[in-house]
Amino acid sequence: MDLNTASQAPEPPAAGRPEEYGLLVLERTLGEQGCPEQRDHLRALRGWLFEELSSLGDDFAGLRRADDFNPVNRQAAEFILGLPGKRLRPLCALVAARLGPAWRNPLVHDVAVAAEMVHNATLLHDDVIDLGTERRGQPCARVVYGNAASILGGDLLLVRAMQRIHRHGRPELVSGLLEVVERMVDAEAEQLELRGRLNLDRARYLRVIEGKTATLFRWSLAAGAAAADASPETVAAMQTVGACMGMSFQLVDDVLDLRGDAATLGKGLFADLEEGKTTWPLLVAAERSRTFAADLQRWMDSQRAGAVPSGEILAALEDLGAIDATMRLAEEHIQRALDALQVVPQGAARTVLEVILQAVIQRRS
Amino acid sequence: MDLNTASQAPEPPAAGRPEEYGLLVLERTLGEQGCPEQRDHLRALRGWLFEELSSLGDDFAGLRRADDFNPVNRQAAEFILGLPGKRLRPLCALVAARLGPAWRNPLVHDVAVAAEMVHNATLLHDDVIDLGTERRGQPCARVVYGNAASILGGDLLLVRAMQRIHRHGRPELVSGLLEVVERMVDAEAEQLELRGRLNLDRARYLRVIEGKTATLFRWSLAAGAAAADASPETVAAMQTVGACMGMSFQLVDDVLDLRGDAATLGKGLFADLEEGKTTWPLLVAAERSRTFAADLQRWMDSQRAGAVPSGEILAALEDLGAIDATMRLAEEHIQRALDALQVVPQGAARTVLEVILQAVIQRRS
């Protein structure tokens, strides 16, 4: 199927329906960034993937089973799945599946759903760990339903995600997803350990973001392609595309936390620093200036006392070139992803992946 | 292998080594209860299962992997696995495996390890949910390492347990274990919802203990037998034996919480009531006496204010026959388990399962 045939696809649902969040956010970003051609590609994708995207929304809306007898854990899980997120992971899985002949295999849908479930399971547990209060512009599930419901809701999502994949009899996808969760937990533990102190160890930082973000992107793209019986070369390329996309995504997140638009992001700025996380821009600036490093440590030590001087820090980061350095590293990862895409035959899916890669770096939320 | 040949087995390790906790606790219980013959059966079992029990201990002591880079989550997980528990679930899995020809299949060992891992994962998460402070006579992992490490440690144990089973290519055991975790989470959510208010719904109570305790016992025994290629009839019998053993185990737990020996139990008495749980003895007493029901609701409402009048409550429970009724229900389940055992050929494993069933009801911790 080609993007050009998208006009024959069913009409997309009304703007703003949950299943479209990912696309709408990306379209807006590309439109604002003066990339109308790419935005139009994405708009066509809405029709192209209409069925798949709609069925995702149905799945997120209701986790109920006939034999459930308690709603507590389900509520927290459904609450977080229903928040307006980008849903980039399931979107990536669906697009990667178009690189294989069996993209109508029901396993593709379950890969997309499982990816979003695992992502949200870790968000639920992380909110309890970080004592977060806001997520995507809404109060956290733990604020609405309590810590207990968030812990159990996260457990439920993990189990349901594994069940989704396991039922298809493709053991390598189950192993892959278990390893992803293991890595995510490991990275969260590492981040927890680093919290509150200045981290100048680049390798440790990169391993944290690889574990907490890149592994699930990698699995989403590679498992989407594998579920559709794509060639081993294509699946391998999706591993690289996904890993690099995830690294870039997290680096851009680090920058958005410092100078994004709080309203668009749905959370306050400088949250990372307030949580004692040395993100890449902060690490680079601290490498380049002893004064900044000392200030940073002081802000971390006193973070409970009140707000950090965000204007002052942002100015210092820009003076030291730390923001630029971070964006450059993000762009390098995008370039590696684009290079890896070269082995994939030209066509709609490859074009769309290229657009998504550009949007990841240009996005504002 | 027969119990009578146990003397030719390697010498058991020195008393008190972690791999023996389950057996030592059961032996002591049976000795104290004037069942020397059964105690001697168990003592022989120590030699009989020596290798298997020892290898369990090794696995619990170290969850480290070469590519781990953070100890935070592992510490909490290793801490709780290392506490002196009864380790009844892995013991049951190992004994049930002796009912099949392939009891040396490495999968048997992994079933035993996975059962204990899942049990401990839920303990770690439950401690955070219940804000518990003691577990098995020691401070909780969450007190030692913090809530975050307990959440991540629980996640790690869940993933590792699934990996243990998944790697053997027996998908029905993976599905079974995923369903167990799903049921445990569901039951914990239900218990959370019932907390703090008087529950007079027998069916709800029974479903909670089925979910939180019986399902994992059922899986441990049935999966142990299945891993050893036992006959379908034997596996089915183990489902019943395990489910009934679990129900009985939890009912006895409810009684021990009211009149056990706090030192032996490793936790304070009346913890269930303080956490606002209407256990079976309390439910029965409340059914039988409106006065008791009203008092109970009042104690639950005021539980934050201080200790409950435990002597008074215990006397009322005994007067109302609620303790006896609970022990009778526990015994009924044990009888159903013994009946189900009839289809299993006579031999050492069956004898040992009978002894364990008796010990479950006679135990003091």
As for how many domains chain A has, the answer is: 1
Please answer whether residues A213 and A242 qualify as being in contact, where contact means their C-beta atoms are separated by less than 8 angstroms: no
B143 touches chain A (CB under 8 A): no
B181 touches chain A (CB under 8 A): yes
Amino acid at A322: A
Looking at per-residue pLDDT, the higher value among B179 and A30 belongs to: B179
- Nearest chain B residue to A187 by CA: give it: B70
Q: Which one of A129, A169, A178 has the shortest CB-CB distance to B148?
A: A129
Spell out which residues of chain B touch residue A204, defining contact as CB-CB under 8 Å: 69
Full residue range of the structural domain in which residue B25 is found: 3-362
Residues B340-354 as b/e (b if ≥16 CB within 10 A, e otherwise) read bbeebeeebbbbbbb
Range A197-201, long-range pairs (CB < 8 A, 24+ positions): A197/A276, A197/A278, A197/A297, A197/A300, A198/A278, A198/A286, A198/A293, A198/A296, A198/A297, A198/A300, A199/A278, A199/A283, A200/A278, A200/A283, A200/A286, A200/A287, A200/A293
Spell out which residues of chain A touch residue B152, defining contact as CB-CB under 8 Å: 125, 129, 185, 188-189, 192
pLDDT tens column, B306-318: 567 888 889 999 9
Q: Which one of B147, B166, B189 has the shortest CB-CB distance to A70?
A: B189
Q: Does residue B296 carry a pLDDT above 50?
A: yes
Q: Which one of B154, B155, B166 has the shortest CB-CB distance to A175?
A: B166
CATH number of the domain within which A164 lies? 1.10.600.10
A164 touches chain B (CB under 8 A): no
pLDDT of residue A168: 97
Instruction: Tell me the ipTM for this assembly.
Output: 0.87
Q: Does residue B163 carry a pLDDT above 60?
A: yes
Distance CA A257, CA A268 (A): 8
Spell out which residues of chain A touch residue B131, defining contact as CB-CB under 8 Å: none
To the nearest whole number, what is the mean pLDDT of chain B?
Answer: 84
Distance from CA of B97 to the nearest CA of A (A): 25
Interchain proximity A152–B128, CB inside 8 Å: no
- Mean pLDDT in residue range A196-221: 96
Residues 6+ apart with CB under 8 A from A289: A316, A320
Interchain proximity A151–B125, CB inside 8 Å: yes
A271 touches chain B (CB under 8 A): no
pLDDT tens column, B15-61: 445 555 566 666 776 667 667 777 777 777 677 777 777 777 777 76
Which residue matches tokens 């440690």? Answer: B153
Interchain proximity B166–A174, CB inside 8 Å: yes
Lowest model confidence (mean pLDDT) among A295-299, B74-78, B290-294, B306-310: B306-310
Q: Does residue B337 carry a pLDDT above 50?
A: yes
In A326-355, the residues whose Cβ lies within 8 Å of chain B are none
pLDDT of residue B97: 96
